[in-house]
Structure 1
Amino acid sequence: MIHVFIGTKAQLIKMAPIMKELQNRKIPYNFIFSGQHKDTMDLILKNFGIDKEPDATLYNGRDITGIMQMANWAIQIIIANWNRKNLNKLFKHDTKGIILNHGDTFSTLLGTFLGKRQGLKTAHIESGLRSHNLFHPFPEEILRLLSFKLTDYFFAPGEAPLKNLNKVKGVKINTGENTLYDAISATPRATTQQGQPYGIISIHRFENIFSRKMLSKIVNTLTSQNDSIQKRFILHKPTENKLREYNLLKKLEECPSIELCPRYDYFKFTSLLKNCEYLITDGGSNQEECYYLGLPCLLMRKATEREEGLGENAVLSGYNNKLITAFIQHYKTFKRPPIAGAESPSKIIVDSISLFSH
């Protein structure tokens, strides 16, 4: 049996094309939802045309966002499913199948650990990404390394991440592109919008929002830009909470070139991306989306584990004010043609796991 373990919105977006491929081929699978994030999850399933609801949900409380909150949540789930009877029920008494886990979240490690304890083969989607710095990004780099230790099948999105797996034992498959390529391909074609050009800002990573000094620096830098482009600042809930806590929200509200916007569902956000001038972000998935769209992208990070777009459409700021200003003033020089015609990574993954799970 195939088991799909998902915990966050970002994971679901990248796993949805795999689930859709399984659905189209009428291949049954057990959908386990860790409950780490619940916001818009049902809408994402609907957007991608996935008929299946979770077979099991491990947690029904408020969304897990803080590090200590995550650790406590993960321990509680492990304790609840340590009992062999509960574990067998979770995995439908299967001990010979394969579990698919994605990325670098606490849910990734949790699903990999539970699958291994059940005796299943474990597969890691979007594998091999490395920053080679244990504490940047934190805790993602550590979670990747721990997940690698428990993984049997590695699906790497390209030659560079595949090379990062050279010293890891297991079967390695190069999917060429990330499954995000399939996700973007599944979104409706953007309609041309008339009106004032705009950029998008999306800041939500732990190292940026849980540091008053860092978040203040980012807000001060963005509000001090002397440019004519209207910027739409997406308010992720944890980001909004920290902006309020640090008394920074008012500064954004009073900036005439910044419009505060709610978090959108994936199809709506992708449509905005396809029509905007550039994206300023700290998200790895956003970096990949911009690469596939050929969209100018400024990374508000010190380092990134992804190579997509670097030196082409993407600029790694390192929080350098001169680089940030230069990007905003000359963003058009970073526009590139979108990526098209690549083989579906989701098809490659389903082809492989269909063989592994028999």
Structure 2
Amino acid sequence: MIVGTRAQLIKMAPVFRELERRDSAYRLVFTGQHTVTMEALLADFGVVTRPEYMYSGPEVSGIARMLFWMPKILFRMLRRRRTLFRNELNRPPTVVVHGDTFSTLLGALAGKLTGCRVAHIESGLRSFNVWNPFPEELTRKLVFRLTDLAFCPGEWASGNMARYNVETVDTGQNTLLDTLRLALADDEPADKTEFKRYCVASVHRFENIFVRQRIEWVAEALERVAEELDVVFVLHPATEKRLRVTGLFLRLCSNPRIHFRERMPYTAFIRLLQASVFVLTDGGSNQEELYYMQKPTLILRNATERREGIGERAVLCGFEQDVVDGFLEKVWREGRGEDILASDIHPSPRIVDRLLRDGRGAEQA
């Protein structure tokens, strides 16, 4: 199990827990793409398997650092191939990767180079525009070609894998649905904000924060929303750095209805989203979470590889202020619907069922 980012760990946690519930051992490898709060997330979700670290330096947040980090991690994984990529029977195991990050590509490439079977969770998602989102769309296309077993979160994603020579498993929904169940089942009381009515903003994508025109548009959109209600802006470190460099941090700070918050534990963040009126985000995982909770969502992107909520309570902004105004009017008119967390679909056990079938086959051989 190769994990690099917080989002990947959050989505993979219910798979890890299901493996542990069945007393099925697995090797958990952290690439170090993200380092902050990773241990805390393991504790929050009750994952007991200890990770093996490929990197323990500063968090990989910039493009220059990413280009230096990638070959280093690939080299380290290949150098340790005899321990990382061999099972108890000295056979190549299944290497499981998730999503669309550089860690996904590194894990799939290392798995393929060492003769392993590569399984890709959250496979088949596409925007069909290599530049939007970039580099995630390109990363997915490369990973698809390295994949042997594709776990697809729905019929549409499964259909997108038809052109590739892979075995596909339709998991029905994203594993994030199981993650939300874990988070919302927590008996801890929700953190209270000082605002009766508020929205939440979360922005972190490269194409938004590293393009001056985009980040300025986002700032203007937040100011427009702040005319209607308070905005709780949850800051990623890279986003805060770019806001300060561009001078937008002080500008937004001067607005009495825009309130910055540091990143918080996952359960606390989900409770914050749950109690909000609506959310502005450029995160794909957020889009899915909010769809499951039926929370109105303004997606700060031109295109998305996910279909959840689009045409219902999720709106792609296309970086048009008229769309922001139209979204606000729709929110006041329609409110929110009933969440679908009561669905009887549980993706994580489906994934574990299939993975363990491979394991039993190896033992029998």
When the two chains are superposed, the root-mean-square deviation of aligned CA atoms in Å is: 1.6
Q: 2:49 aligns with which of 43, 48, 52?
A: 52
Deviation, 1:220, is 1.7
1:338 aligns with 2:326: no
Deviation, 1:356, is 1.9
Aligned to 1:152: 148
Provide, for residues 309-347 of structure 1, a one-character-per-residue CA deviation record: whole Å limited to 9, x for no partner. 001110111111011122224314251210122321000
Using the size of structure 2 for normalisation, the TM-score is: 0.93
Equivalent positions of 1:250-269 (< 5 A) are 250-269=250-269
Moved more, 292-301 or 64-73: 64-73
Preserved CA contact (<8 Å) 1:30 1:91: no
Preserved CA contact (<8 Å) 1:287 1:299: yes
Q: What letter is aligned with 2:345?
A: E
Mark the CA change 1:90 to 1:317 in structure 2 (over 3 Å): closer, same or farther.
same
How far apart in 2 are the matches of 1:9 and 1:224?
A: 30
Q: 1:21 aligns with which of 18, 21, 24?
A: 18
Preserved CA contact (<8 Å) 1:199 1:277: yes
Aligned to 1:141: 137
Deviation, 1:118, is 1.7
How far apart in 1 are the matches of 2:308 and 2:96?
A: 23
Q: 2:113 aligns with which of 107, 110, 117?
A: 117
Deviation, 1:43, is 1.1
1:127 aligns with 2:127: no
How far apart in 2 are the matches of 1:230 and 1:292?
A: 24
How far apart in 2 are the matches of 1:191 and 1:276?
A: 16
Stretches of 4+ aligned residues off by more than 4 angstroms: 189-195
Mark the CA change 1:346 to 1:308 in structure 2 (over 3 Å): closer, same or farther.
same
1:321 aligns with 2:343: no
Provide, for residues 184-204 of structure 1, a one-character-per-residue CA deviation record: whole Å limited to 9, x for no partner. 000135857685111000011
**Percent identity at matched positions?**
39
Aligned length: 352
How far apart in 2 are the matches of 1:258 and 1:224?
A: 11
Provide, for residues 29-78 of structure 1, a one-character-per-residue CA deviation record: whole Å limited to 9, x for no partner. 01111111011111111111111110x21111111122332232111122
Deviation, 1:96, is 3.0
1:39 aligns with 2:41: no
Gaps of 5+ in 2: none
How far apart in 2 are the matches of 1:276 and 1:79?
A: 45
Equivalent positions of 1:1-358 (< 5 A) are 4-54=1-51, 56-83=52-79, 86-92=80-86, 94-189=90-185, 196-225=196-225, 227-332=227-332, 333=334, 335-339=336-340, 340-357=342-359, 358=361
SS in 2 for 1:129: coil
SS in 1 for 2:232: strand
Gaps of 5+ in 1: none
Deviation, 1:256, is 1.6
Moved more, 111-120 or 296-305: 111-120
